[in-house]
Structure 1
């Protein structure tokens, strides 16, 4: 794919986002969302960053793509996944407005970047471990990590996002997986010419993960892959069928 073709496809993608925003009443923020809203059962979500815009158009720049239930038999809903990123609410007596970064890769990556940016490795020695070490009490680690979990919640709940209703069955080759994979590959700057350069203030520049720093996305998988332009038309078709909440 030539760089000229990629730039044209990027413009097409952001035009689709504009169409999606018009259909659903604009981007939302997790801070304003809850599970009683009329979320579609399945879909793909797109997070953007306040203050991160495309130089060519001023449109908010995409910073995270995600979906859910791509394993056969999975019953995870779109809100189930968004709620993992949202974290805990007022009802958590021990850790209100915290979360569990071991259940949300997005929370994990944002927390890692905050640790790096502010030199907090000693304060959060177990952040990023897939499981709490067996020699440490679970409650002790959760209490230790709570300030950072809460910080991550503040960050994530203020990122504008859009969602598209893609009601296909859970499968590795579902349209949801295909849209996610190809949008990531299209937007990613990893290993190639830079399009829509990331600002110096973007938190992801402090990520310990080279794929995040270079791609400009809070994604790791698919950032080095080629994309299929036909996936944009698939996305546009689902956008035309997506209803507001």
Structure 2
């Protein structure tokens, strides 16, 4: 998959690289996003940033997913024992928090793993929570994401075409995860993840790592999507 990975990185560079702060209104309603991380360089020569996460969403929910990752609505930091923390609504944030806690050998990782979105979990485990500690971790995650992460996107309106084991998202993830050349740096925070899949893949992802990568037949489809996205961005 190394040649396909190289091709994917290069063709995505035709699209704008979005950095915080940005306007949610400048983003589409449906699509696939591609995250890069400061200090993480691809392995195909030169100093290009490597892809560290690829993701999508259900419904017309693209903007909301990005907003949850970057915590655009900072009122969500005003949570208590009976509310989910922001990272319960963003697995991206959750994974960064896992790595931060594991790096510090912090036993609070066991509580961090609990998803407090379901009422049953809040009723059963809320007494274990240290809300001030969670808010401190969430603040660190937000700072890391806003400072170190950038993204691009392609527009795909049809949910079946982008999501699930047969969607384009899984093929894109498989392409990057199976590349034998793109590797994380020694300083990558993900090296401290308690999730083996993240440490070994060099990606902030657990799903679709073993998926079939893109093929020659997929390349014209991706090129067409990129042309469509470039036109959409130009006309905004």
Alignment TM-score, normalising by the size of structure 2:
0.83
- The corresponding residue for 1:23 is none
Q: 2-side partners of 1:34 and 1:61: how far apart?
A: 24
Q: Distance in 2 between matches of 1:58 and 1:182?
A: 25
Q: Tell me the residue number matched to 2:156.
A: 166
What SS is found at the alignment partner of 1:195? coil
State how far apart, in whole Å, the 2-side matches of 1:138 and 1:82 are.
31
The answer to whether the Cα contact below 8 Å between 1:166 and 1:176 also exists between their aligned partners in 2 is no
**Cα distance per residue 1:128-170 (max 9 Å; x no partner):** 11235424548964433110011111111230110111122x3
Counterpart in 2 of 1:233? Answer: 220
Does 1:18 pair with 2:13?
A: yes
Query: 2 CA distance for matches of 1:82 and 1:38?
Result: 12
Alpha-carbon separation, structure 2, partners of 1:83 and 1:143: 22
Indicate how the Cα distance of structure 1 residues 109 and 34 shifts in structure 2: closer, same or farther if over 3 A, else same.
same
The Cα shift of 1:28 comes to 1.2
Match of 2:115 in 1: 130
Distance change (3 Å), C-alpha of 1:133 and 1:154: same
- Work out whether residues 39 and 79 of structure 1, in 8 Å CA contact, stay in contact via their aligned partners in 2: yes
CA contact (8 A) 1:179 1:234 kept: no
Corresponding residue for 1:94?
Answer: 78
Between Structure 1 and Structure 2, which shows a larger proportion of helix residues?
2
Alignment match, 2:69: 85
Q: Which residue of 1 aligns with 2:189?
A: 203
Q: CA deviation at 1:38?
A: 2.7
Aligned to 2:51: 62
- CA shift, 1:39, in A, is 1.7
1:154 aligns with 2:143: yes
Partner of 2:169: 180
SS at match of 2:184: coil
SS at match of 2:37: strand
Q: Is contact 1:44–1:166 with CA below 8 Å preserved after alignment?
A: yes
Once the two structures are superposed, residues 62-102 of structure 1 have per-residue CA deviations (whole angstroms, 9 ceiling, x without a partner) of 00000001xxxxx342101111111254545736xxx6111
